[in-house]
């Protein structure tokens, strides 16, 4: 069996990242495994450009900045962080957990924390893109609005049939030099009238019922996009940047095969964030208990509780909580 850890954290969203920091602050040997290539979970995937107002200490902060700072904090005591791999199996043998990932990585841990949210959201790409050559470019088209300043003075094309595309267009209109939306449907899914009205007020050009047929790139940089109207006419637009959103597919963690009890897809935990399996804890959006809120800050508190009790399980003499102010002043971690 591969490397051995005190705590294996499954999921690198805001809850898992904070748990990685907190557990290493308590000197636990930690591995965090995240299925996506990027850390930050839902906040990075769906809210990178949005302002968040209810995280203590930040009057307002974008999702992307919050996650960047969380990654910096998580790395302070160097946990092992693996990205782009999905934990498929967890088995308990001799009081230790053996984890196996989709890429075949084996890990051994004394305790486990499930910080999986409701699962991994894979973004879909339009079926018709399969016919377009240049697979490397297609695979690299962003599906969330990160690094907003990189859109400054750029000609932006948004390929989307969703209200998410409208949100991006409105967000970027003050900095982009031009925005065009290419919608493969005759409507924007889930869009409210007021969102459509905003789009019209902003004068953003929208083409409906179109099918993208080619991306022209020069030295890997996008230059033009060609698309077909449903009237058969072909048109080309200039583009420096392309963003796309065509919905999601959810890959849930296989809790049942791991022996974890769930109700309506959520894991029931006790006051200590323990699941029904001794040694497996859970925190964040995936858990359920009376009074549960699905917020970033709730995940932080639950992560602290779970880590402290995982630590006490390994070392019964460990204290239930610590003040970071005190331990860092003493120059040590406990």
Ligand X SMILES: Cc1cc2nc3c(=O)[nH]c(=O)nc-3n(C[C@H](O)[C@H](O)[C@H](O)COP(=O)(O)OP(=O)(O)OC[C@H]3O[C@@H](n4cnc5c(N)ncnc54)[C@H](O)[C@@H]3O)c2cc1C
Q: Which residues bind ligand X (CB under 6 A)?
A: 10-16, 33-36, 41-43, 46-47, 52, 54, 86-87, 115-117, 119-120, 253, 284-285, 294-297, 299
Closer residue to ligand X (CB): 7 or 225: 7
CB of 44 to ligand X, least distance (A): 8
Residue 87, marked binder:
yes
Is 301 annotated for ligand binding?
Answer: no
Our CA angle for 266, 27, 83, nearest 5°, is 50
Question: Which residues lie across from 13 on neighbouring strands?
Answer: 40
* Least distance (Å) between residue 96 CB and ligand X: 19
Q: How far is the CB of 150 from ligand X (least distance, A)?
A: 23
Smaller CB separation from ligand X, 148 or 154: 148
**Strand 266-268 to 287-288 pairing:** parallel
Considering the complex, state which of residue 40 and residue 126 has its C-beta at the smaller distance from ligand X.
40
Nearer to ligand X, 11 or 279 (CB): 11
215 annotated as ligand-binding? no
CB-nearer residue toward ligand X: 192 or 229: 192
Q: Which residue number is nearest to ligand X in terms of Cβ?
A: 117
Residue 158: CB minimum distance to ligand X, A: 18
Any known ligand binding at 294?
no
**Euclidean distance between the first and the last CA atom of the chain, given in angstroms as a whole number:** 28
Is the alpha carbon torsion for 189, 194, 196, 198 positive or negative? negative
Minimum Å gap between C-beta 210 and ligand X is: 27
Residues contacting residue 212 through CB under 8 Å, at least 6 positions apart: 126, 128, 129, 132, 159, 182, 184, 225, 226, 227
Instruction: Considering the complex, state which of residue 46 and residue 137 has its C-beta at the smaller distance from ligand X.
Output: 46
121 is in an annotated binding site: yes
Rounded alpha-carbon distances, angstroms, from residue 314 to 80, 117, 227, 332: 19, 25, 60, 20
At 3, phi and psi to the nearest 5?
Answer: -65, 155
Question: In this structure, is the dihedral angle defined by the CA atoms of residues 182, 186, 192 and 198, taken in order, positive or negative?
Answer: positive
Cβ neighbourhood burial of 213 (10 Å; 0-12, 13-18, 19+): middle
Closest distance to ligand X from the beta carbon of 108 (Å): 16
> Are the C-beta atoms of 115 and 18 separated by less than 8 Å?
no
Q: Which residues are annotated as a binding site for FAD?
A: 15, 34, 42, 87, 121, 285, 325
Q: Which residues are annotated as a binding site?
A: 15, 34, 42, 87, 121, 285, 325
């Amino acid at each position: 069996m591969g490397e051995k850890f005190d705590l294996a954290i499954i999921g690198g969203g805001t809850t898992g990242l904070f748990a990685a920091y907190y557990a290493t602050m308590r000197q636990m040997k930690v591995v965090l495994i995240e299925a996506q290539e990027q850390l930050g979970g839902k906040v990075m995937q769906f809210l990178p450009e949005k302002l968040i107002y209810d995280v203590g200490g930040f009057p307002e902060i974008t999702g992307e900045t919050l996650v960047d700072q969380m990654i910096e904090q998580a790395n302070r005591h160097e946990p092992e962080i693996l990205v782009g791999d999905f934990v498929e199996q967890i088995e308990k043998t001799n009081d230790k957990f053996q984890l196996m990932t989709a890429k075949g990585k084996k890990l051994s841990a004394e305790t486990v924390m499930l910080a999986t949210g409701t699962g991994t959201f894979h973004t879909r790409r339009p079926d018709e893109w399969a016919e377009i050559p240049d697979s490397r470019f297609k695979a690299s088209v962003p599906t969330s609005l990160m690094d907003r300043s990189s859109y400054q003075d750029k000609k932006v094309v948004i390929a989307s049939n969703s209200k998410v595309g409208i949100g991006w267009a409105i967000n970027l209109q003050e900095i982009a030099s031009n925005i065009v939306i290419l919608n493969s449907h005759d409507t924007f899914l889930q869009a409210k009238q007021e969102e459509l009205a905003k789009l019209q007020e902003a004068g953003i050009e929208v083409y409906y019922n179109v099918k993208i047929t080619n991306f022209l790139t020069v030295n890997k940089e996008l230059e033009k996009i060609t698309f077909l109207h449903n009237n058969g006419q072909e048109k080309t637009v200039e583009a420096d940047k392309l963003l796309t959103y065509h919905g999601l597919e959810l890959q849930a963690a296989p809790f049942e095969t791991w022996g974890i009890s769930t109700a309506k897809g959520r894991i029931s935990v006790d006051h200590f964030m323990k699941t029904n399996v001794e040694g497996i804890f859970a925190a964040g959006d995936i858990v359920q208990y009376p009074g549960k809120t699905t917020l970033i800050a709730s995940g932080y508190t639950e992560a602290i509780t779970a880590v402290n009790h995982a630590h006490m399980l390994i070392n019964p003499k460990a204290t239930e909580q610590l003040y970071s102010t005190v331990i860092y002043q003493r120059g040590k971690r406990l």
